[in-house]
Chain A
Amino acid sequence: MAGNETDDTIPIGDELLAERRAGPGSRMPDDMHPAARSIIHGIDTMSEWVGRIVALLVVPIMFAMVYEVIARKFFVAPTLWAFDISRMLYGMSFMLGAAYALMHGLHIRADFLYRNFEVKTQGRVDLVLYIVLFMPAMIFLLIAGYDFALKSVMQGERAGDSTWAPVVWPVKVSLAVGVALLLVQGVSEILKSWYAATRGRWPS
């Protein structure tokens, strides 16, 4: 494909992620089963709100880093907390935001074959893989993640590799919660794939 073809133009900006799908605001089609419609709406709304809140975590990370630089450089008064705060908030944000990203279709696919499939085929592929591959993997990760987080909470576990040594269970709990959110979002995606597999078009 030559680069000077017009269809190679990239509208970055608001359409930055072309594959992105609309959020819960978009209306599900009328020929979808009402129960499916309300389940999808409920789940998507939850993931959307979690994402909208979690997106704010970059702000405290940013200020923690700037504070640390200024305090250390100009006042020889480094903090012990900036290092831990930044990595904990960063880790929590990407795990808790994973379901939001799944809803918006942001997890990258190697899709140069998939993209050329009929929508019905795409729907069937997704339906089968969400049930056979995604859901079991997330269930296992949730089980392990739950034990992992529980143990940490019970121990009141603190970071062993930093001077400040904060409690780390918030991060481990976020791991489990993030996976739980992914699992729930998977239900919504299964219903959307089911619709695409039977009706031949994506619901949104």
Chain B
Amino acid sequence: MAPEIIGFLMIGAMLFAIFIGFPISFTLIFLGIVFGAWGFGMKLTIFLMTLQFYGSMMEQTLAAVPLFVFMGFMMEQAGLMERLFKAVQLMLARMTGSLFVAVLFVSVVFGAATGIVGASVTILGIMAAKTMSESGYDVRLAAGTITAGGTLGILIPPSIMLVVMGPVLEVPVTDLFAGAILPGVMMAVLYLVYALGRCWLNPKLGPPLRDDQIPDSRSHVWREFILGLVPPTILIAFAMGSILFGWATPTEGAGMGALGSVLLTIGYRKFTWKRTYDALLKTLEISVLILFLVAASNFFGAVFSRLGTPGMITDWLLALDLSPSLIIIMILAMVFILGWPLEWVPIVLIILPILQPVLVEMNVNMTWFAILVAVCLQTAWLSPPVALSAYFLKGVAPDWDLKDIYYGMMQFMTVQIFGLTLVFLFPWLALWLPGYLYGN
């Protein structure tokens, strides 16, 4: 059988096998071995596996994951993040869905500071899930907001994905960074409009505080708000500020944030060695959960690429004789569909270079195209079953049903497609800022 066909069977088998309920990492590794051995031999498959695992182990940008997770746990143990969300809720007491505002606000701040989805989703989950549940928020909408908000990190610069995409499409990364800002903020606004719109139609989805929970004294509310807001603001300023003001790379900023969280717990007299060690253990647990899965899915994706299936799909596409707009729609549809089983790395590195010459020939603006692909690829994080964000969130909010997380993410996939349509219809969304900053 042709290896490309084996690739299709592999995806089919994966869709079935994952739902048996065995740990996903090991299921992916096993399927990679079986179908790799079938397609190109056992010796090479297991060798590919060691290479992929080693590659994931030496990826310095991912070292930000344990650091940000540790920061999250330290803040959580000191009760500071809960207090922040409570404070926002108190301030917006009579507003339905106020926590969605808080989550998306923090998402944008986080997105502007990091390029790592795993860290954003996990930390938002740790910080917000408890408060949302206790306040009677709808699990699906809450999970969708957290996962969608978390994926903003790969769109809002700095973004690892755009950094990889730039050289592939021969567009300066700075242009891509500038181009992604408006669409990124737009997506956050769309998420917000969606979440609040749903709450407006059905207040039960994000209930406001009951009258007896709202203190009479306005000054008390302000006091809580400031006390809740100041510590995390200091910390975010410490971590994110060090990145945004150019003192630190994202990984280094994560280290600053981690140390900052320790100093903050000391300042709040909440520091104990035992608590800190507990936070370290939990950090290890969550980091393993995320990073082992990243390594396993990299291996799975590498086998799939090696089987040649993505290339074959691209060839089909090019064989059709269509107008530029239709080709772009087809490409986006393909990226969208491939985002289901794959993460963004194989899509960006294998498919885009094959398409690049064709698009250049058709005079497609490559900055615009890159942003379209980037917005489209965000869905790869939101499309089950290989949607790492779902598993990251499940890891920190274990009582949330994975099925509900899936449903929540799929609602936001719809919002995502709406946003994608806007960027497609109004290219200036992606092109105005780079033109304003860098000319032409």
A and B interact physically: yes
Q: How far is the CA of A94 from the CA of B289 in the complex (A)?
A: 8
Which B positions have Cβ atoms within 8 angstroms of A? 18-27, 29-30, 33, 42, 46-47, 49-50, 53-54, 56-60, 62-63, 65-67, 70, 76-77, 126, 129-130, 132-134, 136-142, 204-205, 207, 242, 247-248, 251-256, 258-259, 277-278, 280-285, 287-289, 291-293, 295, 385, 391, 394-404
Min CB distance A192 to B, Å, is 14
Min CB distance A124 to B, Å, is 12
Q: How far is the CA of A11 from the CA of B54 in the complex (A)?
A: 36
Min CB distance A10 to B, Å, is 4
Given contacts A55-B281, A68-B252, A87-B60, contact A94 B30 (CB under 8 A): no
Q: At the interface, yes or no: A188 with Cβ under 8 Å from chain B?
A: no
> In the complex, which residues of chain B have a beta carbon less than 8 angstroms from the beta carbon of A171?
54, 57-58
Q: Are A3 and B292 in contact (CB under 8 A)?
A: no
Other-chain residue from A8, A112, A140, A168 in contact with B133 (beta carbon distance below 8 A)? A8
Other-chain residue from A9, A65, A174, A175 in contact with B134 (beta carbon distance below 8 A)? A9
Min CB distance A193 to B, Å, is 11
Q: Are A144 and B49 in contact (CB under 8 A)?
A: yes
Q: At the interface, yes or no: A61 with Cβ under 8 Å from chain B?
A: yes
> In the complex, which residues of chain A have a beta carbon less than 8 angstroms from the beta carbon of B62?
87, 90
Query: Number of A-B pairs whose CB atoms are under 8 Å?
Result: 266
Q: At the interface, yes or no: A148 with Cβ under 8 Å from chain B?
A: yes
Min CB distance A18 to B, Å, is 4
Min CB distance A77 to B, Å, is 14
Min CB distance B27 to A, Å, is 7
Task: Give chain B's interface secondary structure class.
Answer: helix
Q: How far is the CA of A93 from the CA of B292 in the complex (A)?
A: 11
Min CB distance B175 to A, Å, is 26
Min CB distance A66 to B, Å, is 5
Q: Are A69 and B289 in contact (CB under 8 A)?
A: no
Other-chain residue from B23, B247, B280, B288 in contact with A69 (beta carbon distance below 8 A)? B247
Q: How far is the CA of A109 from the CA of B391 in the complex (A)?
A: 8
Other-chain residue from B76, B136, B289 in contact with A107 (beta carbon distance below 8 A)? B289
